[in-house]
Amino acid sequence: MTENETDGAVRSPAPLVKVRRKSRSKARRRLRSRLLRLALGTGIFILAAGACAAWLAHRADQIKTHLEATTVLLPAVQQKLLDGDVQGGQAVLGELQDHATAAREAGTDPLWRAASGIPWLGANFSAVTAVSLSADDVVQGAVTPLVSTFDSASWEDLAPEAGKIDAAALRAASPALGTAARTVQLSYDRLAAIDKSSLLPQIAGPLAEASATLDEARGTLNAAAATGKVLPPMLGMDGPRNYLVLVQNSAELRATGGIPGAVAIINTDNGAIKLTDQASAGDVGTFDPPLEVPEDQERIFTKRLGTQLQNVNLTPDFPTAAMTAGSMWEKSHPGTKIDGVIALDPVVLANLLRATGPVALKDPALVALMQPTGLPTVLSADNVVKTLLSDSYAALPDPGLQDDYFAGVASEVFTALAAGQGDAKKLIEELIRSSEQGRLYVWSAKPEEQRVVSPTAVAGTVAGSEKARTSFGLYFNDGTGAKMDYYVRLTAQLVQTCTPDGGSAVTLRVTMSNTAPVDAAASLPKYVTGQGIFGVKPGWVRTNVIAYGPGRSLLEKARVAGDPAQLSSFQQDQRPVAVLTTEIGPGESAAVEIDFSQIAQEADLKLDVTPTLQSTEDVVQSPVRANTCRAH
């Protein structure tokens, strides 16, 4: 039987051929169907991806447009309010709110959030979302309540008038200020937490700008919120207060600015402000045994901190200096209670005179004393610093008369302020400027108030605060025993380098120049040069330089003019402290370098300095950063 035979029957091969052809035809149809489905799926995916990309691009354009609008409108609102146009400010605020809300909606779009999970690029979408959220939070949670506050409060009420400040408006505004400060702080924290290492430049740049803006705003608002909380009770709205005022003489440097020369007592009672007493710091006397001061600071600055009022601010920690000064006054004036201490320098007086305009000395005895000396009896922003810190020493060889003149000027400026002389808006601006320059300090003896003041610029704290943990400090104490610091010019700069283990080291570079005339020993008053009483050649300047590193960093070594320098090493609140001494003659300069290592990741290249006659901007140079260090 052949292969085509079955049961004796012979079959044709044609049916098998047809079966095979049919099978191949089905296979081809299935293949075409699969290819068609694949093509359709791919096409749909491409179309969907294109649509998603187009939608994301549309959202990106929306976010960019609305955020740019907020950066334009926000200062416009501020300017309207400063101009007193509250209604105009509210109108601009409406536009600002619309743009901020639209930016938030675009930045939190479900597809935009989903894009945050894309490898490599997702972090950029997340960063933009954070910026849009922060922008809306700041507008709704900070700007809006502040505008409402401006609508119900007259900020000119904060300026004195007829010897009184009406702080009721500030007390009413305090909750809004607190809300605004917290909102901006949370928004800043959100942006600060973003890992910027994987961001595209187009995202990293605007993010850095937004962070910097919020950083500046949080400082201002934190200070405003603190002011709103503590100023009303400090003005005596809850009972009378007494404040010791230290007028610091920058011609003889101390760590917080200058030696306290003239002092005064100011009384506040329900907003009324009175100058009740004046004296020279020398009148307070010498304390033996010295008053107790914190041990870590006594090791650095010796027991001198507690011996005389003139030495309380050898330490840069103003709360310590203020507490000690207040105790000294109370001990030398039994029955007097000091509720707080305020410190300022002649540059602050100049700033205030920009607001009040010129003031005249009115004390007949003081005017009669000044007339034969040629010293001005009318003080202005242009002449007060030179008059107090230079001319008065040539005209008044008696230190007691110098202190009387200094106190008289400070008294007349205070009287003009209390009377409401000058421009109220300008006064507030100059007070803010003085605090930002580190020239105005405030301490409260009330613990609950001091806790609020402590994080602000006016606290002058070098221990226990965020600034103390993360920043550097450079302070100066005169060692000449005279008034030669009027002629000293300074610069300071932080220079970062990377260590082999990927960490960070920082060198603090300081230049000090003595600009006194070459014949200073003969041409300057003996009281200015010191006459060599403390072992310093007349015309020369001896300075004790004190440098603080950030918390938990290490002090390494120091150099003067490139040569190894003798260095004393201390610790204060886990901060390394370096102390060294320089002496420079007329026309000479000294270059000091102090090295710190093991700089923590959270540390920043910010430098706090003793305020001098120079502006802080002239003294503190931009830091040199090493961007490849692991810590930064």
Mean pLDDT across 494-519: 93
pLDDT(4) > 50: no
Residue 236 pLDDT: 93
pLDDT in tens, 432-484: 889 989 999 999 999 999 999 998 889 999 987 666 678 899 999 999 999 99
Q: Tell the residue number behind the tokens 């109220």, with chain if given.
A: 424
Look at the chain and report how many structural domains it folds into. 4
Q: Are residues 26 and 127 in the same domain?
A: no
Q: Which helix (H) or strand (E) holds 527?
A: helix 526-529
pLDDT(109) > 80: yes
Cβ–Cβ under 8 Å, residues 410 and 261: no
Mean pLDDT across 299-307: 96
Residue 631 covered by a domain: no
Q: Are strands 488-498 and 504-514 parallel, antiparallel or unpaired?
A: antiparallel
Residue 6 pLDDT: 45
Q: Are residues 229 and 245 in the same domain?
A: no
Q: Are residues 393 and 528 in the same domain?
A: no
How far, CA to CA in Å, does 155 sit from each of 82, 166, 167, 432, 593?
9, 10, 10, 14, 46
pTM: 0.81
Residue 451 pLDDT: 92
pLDDT(12) > 70: no
pLDDT in tens, 519-537: 999 999 999 999 999 999 9
For residues 404 and 338, which has the higher predicted lDDT (pLDDT)? 338
DSSP string, 358-373: -EE---HHHHHHHGGG
pLDDT(318) > 50: yes
Residue 38 pLDDT: 56
Q: Tell the residue number behind the tokens 């993010």, with chain if given.
A: 207
Q: Are residues 185 and 274 in the same domain?
A: no
223 exposure class (CB count in 10 Å sphere: 0-12, 13-18, 19+):
buried
Give phi and psi for 381, each to the nearest 5: -60, -25
Q: Which residues contact 185 (CB under 8 A, 6 or more apart)?
A: 218, 222
Question: Mean pLDDT score of the chain, rounded to an integer?
Answer: 85
pLDDT(99) > 50: yes
pLDDT(28) > 50: yes
Across 301-399, the runs of DSSP E, i.e. the strands, are: 340-344, 359-360, 378-379
Lowest mean pLDDT among 362-366, 425-429, 465-469: 465-469
Looking at residue 312, what DSSP letter applies?
Answer: G
Q: Are residues 227 and 272 in the same domain?
A: no
Residue 591 covered by a domain: yes
Q: Are residues 177 and 209 in the same domain?
A: yes
Residue 459 pLDDT: 92
Q: Are residues 400 and 485 in the same domain?
A: no
Could you give the 3-state DSSP secondary structure of residue 102?
helix
pLDDT(399) > 90: no
* Confidence category of residue 1, pLDDT binned at 50, 70, 90: very low
Q: Are residues 569 and 485 in the same domain?
A: yes
Residue 101 covered by a domain: yes
Contacts 24+ apart (CB under 8 A), 318-321: 318/256, 318/343, 318/441, 318/443, 318/459, 318/460, 318/461, 319/443, 319/450, 319/454, 319/459, 319/460, 319/461, 320/293, 320/294, 321/256, 321/460
pLDDT(543) > 90: yes
* Region label for 274, one of left (φ > 0), alpha (ψ between -120 and 50) or beta (otherwise): beta
Q: Are residues 411 and 263 in the same domain?
A: yes
Cβ–Cβ under 8 Å, residues 123 and 198: yes
Mean pLDDT across 569-595: 96
- What CATH number does the domain containing 400 carry? 3.40.630
pLDDT in tens, 371-388: 888 899 899 999 999 999
CA 56/CA 107 separation, integer angstroms: 10
Q: Are residues 560 and 612 in the same domain?
A: yes
Cβ–Cβ under 8 Å, residues 222 and 456: yes
Mean pLDDT across 72-80: 73
Mean pLDDT across 382-397: 91
- Listed residues 424, 449, 474: the one ending a domain: 449
Residue 175 covered by a domain: yes
pLDDT(2) > 50: no
CA 44/CA 53 separation, integer angstroms: 14
Q: Are residues 443 and 305 in the same domain?
A: yes
What is the domain range of residue 538? 462-619
- What CATH number does the domain containing 603 carry? 2.60.40
Residue 293 covered by a domain: yes
CA–centroid distance for 39 within its chain: 61
CA 489/CA 515 separation, integer angstroms: 7
Residue 455 covered by a domain: no
Residue 349 pLDDT: 94
pLDDT in tens, 120-147: 778 888 888 888 888 888 888 878 887 7
Residue 33 pLDDT: 66
Residue 9 pLDDT: 47
Residue 611 covered by a domain: yes
* Confidence category of residue 162, pLDDT binned at 50, 70, 90: confident
Looking at residue 604, what DSSP letter applies?
Answer: -
* Confidence category of residue 151, pLDDT binned at 50, 70, 90: low
Please report, as a single letter, which amino acid is at residue 534: F
Residue 492 pLDDT: 98
Q: Are strands 472-478 and 607-609 parallel, antiparallel or unpaired?
A: parallel
Tokens of residue 67, six digits: 């955020």
Residue 240: other Cβ atoms inside 10 A: 12
pLDDT(219) > 80: no
Q: Are residues 466 and 381 in the same domain?
A: no
Residue 456 covered by a domain: no
Q: 154: number of CA atoms within 13 Å, CB side?
A: 7
pLDDT in tens, 230-268: 989 999 999 999 999 999 999 999 999 999 988 999 999
pLDDT(74) > 80: no
Could you give the 3-state DSSP secondary structure of residue 248?
strand
CA 604/CA 471 separation, integer angstroms: 6
